[in-house]
């Protein structure tokens, strides 16, 4: 049986997966050089962080809390990935926090999670950091638009 590796990349904020397209392509190329078998990488935008598909209602902007964002990523795994194949979680910034929460839940559900990689993690209390204090007023203005 051929090895099959699945990488799930959870973006930072803003959580548009298109920002990671080039990174994902290079990532898979490098993994393919070092591993036998095939590798696939998925990136998942955060809810309402990417343009909506044609035909979707755009009249109301719904906000999702962090728990709902985590559940959204777990639902993707349950619906589209195989729990019996090697799954590697990769999270950037707040995506690292989401990956850590997903890791706990996926293990409880019996998934084969072979690794969890946190890139520049924002694990807790981001708003209390000096950078967070600068960004909070800006974020509040953007959400009001």
Question: What domain range is 140 assigned to?
Answer: 4-144
Secondary structure of residue 27 in the 3-state scheme: helix
CATH code, domain with 62: 3.40.50.1820
Please report where in the chains the tokens 């996926």 appear, as a residue.
106
pLDDT attached to residue 92: 92
Mean pLDDT value across residues 88-106: 94
Bridge partners, 91 (sequence order): 10, 118
Q: How far apart are CA 9 and CA 80, in angstroms?
A: 14
User: What confidence tens digit (pLDDT) does each residue in 110-134 have?
Assistant: 999 999 999 888 766 667 777 777 7
The number of domains in the chain is 1
Token reading at 89: 């979680």
Q: Which H or E run includes 30?
A: helix 21-34
Token reading at 109: 């559900």
């Amino acid at each position: 049986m051929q090895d099959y590796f699945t990488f799930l990349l959870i973006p930072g904020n803003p959580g548009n997966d298109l920002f990671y397209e080039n990174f994902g392509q290079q990532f898979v190329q490098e993994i393919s050089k070092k591993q036998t078998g095939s590798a696939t990488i998925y990136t998942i935008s955060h809810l309402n962080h990417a343009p909506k598909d044609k035909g979707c209602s755009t009249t109301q902007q719904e906000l999702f809390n962090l728990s709902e964002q985590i559940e959204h990523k777990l639902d993707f795994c349950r619906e589209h990935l195989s729990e019996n194949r090697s799954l590697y979680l990769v999270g950037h910034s707040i995506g690292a926090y989401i990956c850590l929460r997903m890791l706990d839940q996926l293990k409880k559900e019996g998934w084969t999670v072979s690794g969890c990689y946190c890139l520049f993690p924002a694990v807790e209390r981001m708003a209390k950091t000096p950078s967070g204090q600068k960004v909070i007023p800006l974020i509040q203005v953007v959400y009001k638009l």
